[in-house]
Amino acid sequence: MGAIRDRILLHLRADLPGHTDRTRDPTVNLVDGLVVLVALFAAVRGYRQGLVGQVFEFGGGFVGLIAGIALGPAVAGGFTRRPGLQGALISLVVVFVAMAIGQTLGFVVGHRVGHTVHRANLGQVNSGAGVIVSVLVTFLTFWLLGSLLVQGPSRPLARGLHDSSILRAMNETLPDPPNVLAYIQQYLNTSGFPQVFATLPRDSGPPVKLPSKRTARRAARAAAASTVRITTPACGGLQLGSGWVVAEGTVVTNAHVVAGGDAITIHDANGEHAGVVVLFDKNTDVAIVKAEGLAGPALPLEEARLDSGTQGATLGYPGERGGRLVPKPAAVQAYFDAVGRDIYGRRKVTRSIYEVRSRVRQGDSGGPFVLPDGRVGGVVFAASTTDPDTGYVLTGAEVEDEIDRGIRRNSPRGTGACTR
């Protein structure tokens, strides 16, 4: 508990005058204030109810919480198979109902046992210990729920949790949240992108300047003919994404774009082409698709690491219909190895990525981050859950091996299961 306290104080001092951080608000945010208020209320209640009552009540609530987290995705899957607010709300309702049931049952048992403790003249000891347990459980519950909600479905809420000094201190001190949270995070993450971070998202890199319109147009012109739209009927709907030509008859995209699909269609200036998936990597989130008659020339991959401030453009077909190519100015803000999860939210994976200043939307997945000279710096694969102006790109070095293997392959590969 002392380590967590020291971390909290460190974050709070960073918010005082003379300490600046562009990625977070200059004061303790509303989330921190709410947590402290709830903790004070819990302390008063814990004193009145005592240790025994708290142990049974919160023990039952914790068991209910874990049960709800495990059951939430299954229940939501019975109503919807697509990412979105409906699945997220159903999952959350299941979690809170299960937690309430467990807490109520624990309260009933604890109330009865508490009378026995009181008759044994242990009232003051029981009350004092109840305060400690109540406050600890409050913070642990906040940590678990915060770790869930920081992945979505609400970007303002995710941003508030990301900026919480208390949550950040706990995240830096405690071990990673239990893996069972990952299953429900798949529904709370309504963006359709894979989880870039398994825990709290890192702070954005230092600000960088976007390219001029002329520079961005030059990058876009170099890759426009070679950037394709990808569609596949799968998982109860039509999955949309983007890709780019890396060799004759070979397209690079994201694995989550084609996951669960059988009939892959590539759209470009020459029309529609039947695609065959020859490589599918659920961990890195890369897929290689072969097709004949593609219009655009192959784009060269830049395998060397790009410096912060490197300018270019991201290209893709965003939106629900994804019918129009949209180039957007982009610049590298940071490079790092991100510990996230595979496209199914189950296994932890490490990816070498660029954080770019660019708005990434559904449908942009698999598109190229293009430099002004036409080289591809990486593959767009996700957007920030806290900042609408930040996206994430797989580096050239991260995807080069998959691309080399995919170019040499011709036999079809499976596309795995649906991501929801």
Rounded distance, CA 396 to CA 304, Å?
7
Residue 140: partners with Cβ closer than 8 Å, 6 or more residues away: none
pLDDT tens profile 379-396 = 999 999 888 899 999 999
Domain range 213-408, CATH class: mainly beta
Residue ranges, comma separated, of all CATH 2.40.10.120 domains in the chain are 213-408
Q: How far apart are the first and last CA of the chain?
A: 37
Report which of residues 171 and 222 the model is more confident about.
222
pLDDT greater than 80 at residue 184? no
Question: Letter for the amino acid at 12?
Answer: L
Q: Which of 32-46, 227-241, 266-280 has the highest mean pLDDT?
A: 266-280
Q: Which of 174-183, 220-229, 343-352, 369-378 is the least confident region?
A: 174-183
Q: Please, which pLDDT band fits residue 295 given cuts at 50, 70 and 90? A: very high
pLDDT number for residue 119: 53
pLDDT greater than 80 at residue 327? yes
Q: Which of 7-11, 101-105, 169-173, 300-304 is the least confident region?
A: 7-11
Are residues 384 and 339 in contact, defined by beta-carbon separation less than 8 angstroms?
no
Q: Which residues share a beta bridge with 233?
A: 238
pLDDT number for residue 123: 60
**DSSP string of 12-61?**
HHTTSTT---TTS-SS--HHHHHHHHHHHHHHHHHHHHHHHHHHHHHHHH
Prediction pTM value: 0.77
Mean pLDDT of the chain: 83
Rounded distance, CA 317 to CA 315, Å?
7
pLDDT number for residue 342: 93
Q: What is the mean pLDDT of residues 355-375?
A: 96
Q: Which of 99-103, 216-220, 335-339 is the least confident region?
A: 99-103
Rounded distance, CA 277 to CA 263, Å?
10
Are residues 149 and 92 in contact, defined by beta-carbon separation less than 8 angstroms?
no
Rounded distance, CA 170 to CA 5, Å?
9
Are residues 232 and 247 in contact, defined by beta-carbon separation less than 8 angstroms?
no
Joined tokens for residue 228 = 């394709």
What does the DSSP 8-state code read for residue 248?
T
Alpha helices in 30-164 (DSSP H): 30-77, 85-119, 123-149, 155-162
Report which of residues 23 and 300 the model is more confident about.
300
pLDDT number for residue 256: 95
Q: Please, which pLDDT band fits residue 16 given cuts at 50, 70 and 90? A: very low
**DSSP string of 158-220?**
HHHHHT-HHHHHHHHHSPPPPTHHHHHHHHH-TT-S--S-SSSPPPP----PPPPHHHHHHHH
Left (φ > 0), alpha (ψ -120 to 50) or beta: where does 5 sit? alpha
Rounded distance, CA 312 to CA 201, Å?
24
Q: Please, which pLDDT band fits residue 188 given cuts at 50, 70 and 90? A: low
Q: Which of 105-109, 259-263, 379-383, 404-408 is the least confident region?
A: 105-109
Are residues 367 and 316 in contact, defined by beta-carbon separation less than 8 angstroms?
yes
pLDDT number for residue 290: 98
Provide the percentage of residues in the chain whose pLDDT is more than 90: 44
Give the 3-state secondary structure of residue 132: helix
Q: Which of 14-23, 181-190, 300-309, 405-414 is the least confident region?
A: 14-23
Question: Letter for the amino acid at 311?
Answer: Q
Rounded distance, CA 257 to CA 260, Å?
9
**DSSP string of 284-319?**
TTEEEEE-SS--SPPPPB--SPPPTT-EEEEEE--S
